[in-house]
Amino acid sequence: MRSDKMKKGVERTPHRALFKAIGYSDEELSRPIIGVVNSFNEVVPGHIHLKNIAQAVKDGIRMAGGTPMEFPAIGVCD
């Protein structure tokens, strides 16, 4: 799987150490890692619902046998 490129082999030991430090288990790291981008913030009213949507997406990834990894994106409001 593509996520193995960032977590398998001796050369990726520092990557695995970081994942372990933030709470990922060996079992979670054995699954495909799926990125979930989230622009939720408390400043933009139109983005307030995105926290719940991102959580639902992560729950679905877990149910399908993957490991979600959420990361932020800039939230723009006009």
Tens digits of residue pLDDT in 14-56: 999 999 999 999 999 999 999 999 999 988 889 999 999 999 9
Q: Which residues of 49-75 are buried (b: 16+ CB within 10 A; e: fewer)?
A: ebeeebeebbeebeeeebbbbeeeeee
Alpha carbons 32 and 18: distance in angstroms, whole number: 17
Name the pLDDT band for 58 (thresholds 50, 70, 90): very high
- What is residue 76's predicted lDDT score, i.e. its pLDDT? 81
Domain ranges for the chain, please list them: 2-72
Name the pLDDT band for 1 (thresholds 50, 70, 90): confident
Rounded to 5 degrees, φ, ψ at 2 are -60, -35
12 contacts: CB under 8 Å, gap ≥ 6: 6
